[in-house]
Amino acid sequence: MKLQVIIHQAERTCMKSIIEASPKPDYHLSVAFDNGEQFLIDYKPFIKNGVSAALADEHFFKQLRLEEGFIYWPNGYDICPEALYEYAVQHGNRLIAA
């Protein structure tokens, strides 16, 4: 599955929203979506060339921020929550809310 990456477009078309996100060791993300589902996602497969290459620096990877339901990094790289959700359902580890 190809993960769609959106670079700061003026209009967002994703239907899912991320309500919590935090970096974890070894390029993993803990992500909670607005439907209540939570996942631990291995993000290494998406760190490649171009704008995502900066995420190979683990210190930089940990600088993510959450704005308006999207995860952003300081270099402008962001991810569509819908694409991340679809990937997480197939490849992530579903977490049980406490």
Q: Any idea which residue has 């290459």 for tokens?
A: 53
CB 7 within 8 A of CB 77: yes
CB 47 within 8 A of CB 27: yes
Q: Which of 50, 39, 45 is nearest to 81 (CA)?
A: 39
Q: What is the pLDDT of residue 33?
A: 96
Q: How far apart are CA 44 and CA 56, in angstroms?
A: 8
Task: Give the pLDDT band (50/70/90) at residue 85.
Answer: very high
Judge whether residue 27 has pLDDT over 50.
yes
What is the residue range of 91's domain? Answer: 18-95
Mean pLDDT of the chain: 86
Read off the CATH number of the domain in which 33 is found.
Answer: 3.30.2020
Judge whether residue 5 has pLDDT over 50.
no
CB 65 within 8 A of CB 75: no
Task: Give the pLDDT band (50/70/90) at residue 94.
Answer: confident
Domains identified in the chain, total number: 1
In-domain check, residue 79? yes
